[in-house]
Amino acid sequence: MSTSACWRRIRQYEEAGIVTGYGARVDPAKLGFGFQAIVHVHLTRHDPAQLVAFIRAVEARKEVMDCFATTGQADYYLRVLCHDIAAYNQFLETFLFRLPAVQSAQTNVVLREIKSGTVCHV
């Protein structure tokens, strides 16, 4: 494929919303973020206004790398990065547990990363 044909295809993918952004993959530990957790969040109820407030609050927090609304036992799963366990505890106490929609949260500490990626193979 020629360079110009390649760029046309990339532009088409961007315009169609297939390519949604570009970025660099970094090692969080090398930036001082040695604590990573998957947080299972259970809501008190699914009131639309509280859901919107929960989502906006989570989107605004720099510690939250990913947030997924799911089926199953938890309502949401968060991937959270912090400098250490003390910073994570502060995240819970001063943020997550103060959100009116949050009933409880269960934490799974990430021991090591086996596979992580943003590439979609189609």
Joined together, the tokens standing for residue 13 give 């993918």
- Write down the pLDDT at residue 1: 80
DSSP E strands, the chain:
35-43, 64-69, 76-82, 102-109
Asked if the structure places residue 9 within a domain, the reply is no
> How far, in Å, are 29, 35, 59, 85, 97 from residue 112 at the CA level?
11, 10, 25, 15, 26
Round to whole Å and give the CA distance between 32 and 92: 19
Asked if the structure places residue 34 within a domain, the reply is yes
What range does the domain containing 93 cover? 28-109
Residue 33's CATH number: 3.30.70.920
Asked if the structure places residue 54 within a domain, the reply is yes
pLDDT tens digit string along 39-66? 999 999 888 999 999 999 999 999 999 9
- What's the whole-model pTM score? 0.84
For the chain, the domain total comes to: 1
Asked if the structure places residue 1 within a domain, the reply is no
Residue 25 has pLDDT above 90, yes or no: no
- Quick one: which of 66, 93, 69 has its CA closest to 78? 66
pLDDT tens digit string along 72-116? 999 999 999 999 999 999 999 999 999 999 999 999 999 998 988
